[in-house]
Amino acid sequence: MALSLTEKSELVSSFWKDRPSACPKHEIPMRTFFVERVYKPQIVMVCPRGEMFRFDQKPKQIEFSRPHLKTMVLDAQEREAPGCPQDFAPLVIYRTPAKFLPVGWDFSFFCPSCLSYGQWIDTGRPEEDVVAAAKPRKEAPAFHDETIPLPKRMEMAKDGNLTLKLYAAMAQTDAVDITAAFIRSGAVIESLRVIQISDIVLIRGKTNDRRKAEHASEIATALGYPRVANLIVVRDDVSDDAAIVYTGQRRLELERELEGCRFHVVSTLGVIRLTGSVHSEPQSDLAVAILTRIDGVKAVHPELNRR
């Protein structure tokens, strides 16, 4: 989902201020971490429901200082485009009617590049008294630090409101499903399931291609997870087909409805060719249905005679 500049800036600010970062879509806390790369350091946020957001942080976000804001306001009033003091990117300016004055404007500034931000509220008082907009939000405890046990989190949140307590409890999530992020990054693995527990990522699934299994580990690294347990089972096709034939043949023989029929099962990379004979059409359908349910079977091609 696309985020507005304000949403981006607020998410990044929540990260640097150690506040919970709520997914804009689901309004639940996301896992957040910083990926330290020389050329492209990023904040990564992963929603338990699968969204992933990345924010470039070279340079890191700042809240503009009062002198900076004053210059920006003057620039904006002069119809000059103020730039970010960090990376000189042209700032995005939001102008709202002044809160404390009958005329005039308050200003918010956002850097589209480093997501730095600042707000200038015109109080009309002499310059010394003008306060550049600290957002009146209380510092929240570092709930995203997973090393804090649940009872301690709840203790930290005990004076807070219900939302804060909820954050404290949810931050304890033992396992976060991040499968969707891996699929989006191009992981092609059967029954893929990726979960993050603390700072470890567990990758499960099946494949018959060792390179695809290795690629999943590479994706984890690229997504910024340093500790990866790759538990993907790399199957060997020959023994897999043998198992399919054995299981298939046996299940068909054990099925009462198929008594008196003859079957011969051949599997090639999970694709079954079923030959033999049945008495009726429904028996043929049943045999195909039984074989289709076997693990690893991709398709069943029946070539059965009626007799």
Q: Which stretch binds Zn ion (CB under 5 A): 22-30, 101-109, 122-130, 280-288?
A: 22-30
CB of 230 to Zn ion, least distance (A): 26
273/289 Cα distance (integer angstroms): 13
Q: Of residues 114-153, which lie at the interface with Zn ion (CB under 5 A)?
A: 114, 116
Q: Cβ closer to Zn ion: 61 or 267?
A: 61
Q: Which residues contact 201 (CB under 8 A, 6 or more apart)?
A: 178, 194, 195, 220, 225, 227, 228, 229
**Binds Zn ion by CB under 5 A, chosen from 37, 49, 125, 279:** 49
Half-sphere exposure of 277 (CA within 13 A, CB side): 5
Q: Which stretch binds Zn ion (CB under 5 A): 24-32, 94-102, 260-268, 283-291?
A: 24-32
Q: Cβ closer to Zn ion: 133 or 252?
A: 133
CB of 26 to Zn ion, least distance (A): 4
| Residue 37, amino acid | R
Q: Cβ closer to Zn ion: 24 or 270?
A: 24
CB 196 within 8 A of CB 50: no
Applying CB under 5 A, the site for Zn ion has a residue count of 14
Q: Which stretch binds Zn ion (CB under 5 A): 51-59, 68-76, 122-130, 250-258?
A: 51-59
**Binds Zn ion by CB under 5 A, chosen from 86, 172, 208, 277:** 86
Query: Does residue number 111 form part of the binding site for Zn ion (CB under 5 A)?
Result: yes
CB of 249 to Zn ion, least distance (A): 46
Query: Does residue number 176 form part of the binding site for Zn ion (CB under 5 A)?
Result: no
**Binds Zn ion by CB under 5 A, chosen from 43, 62, 69, 84:** 84
Residues that bind Zn ion (CB under 5 A): 23, 25-26, 47, 49, 51, 84, 86-87, 89, 111, 113-114, 116
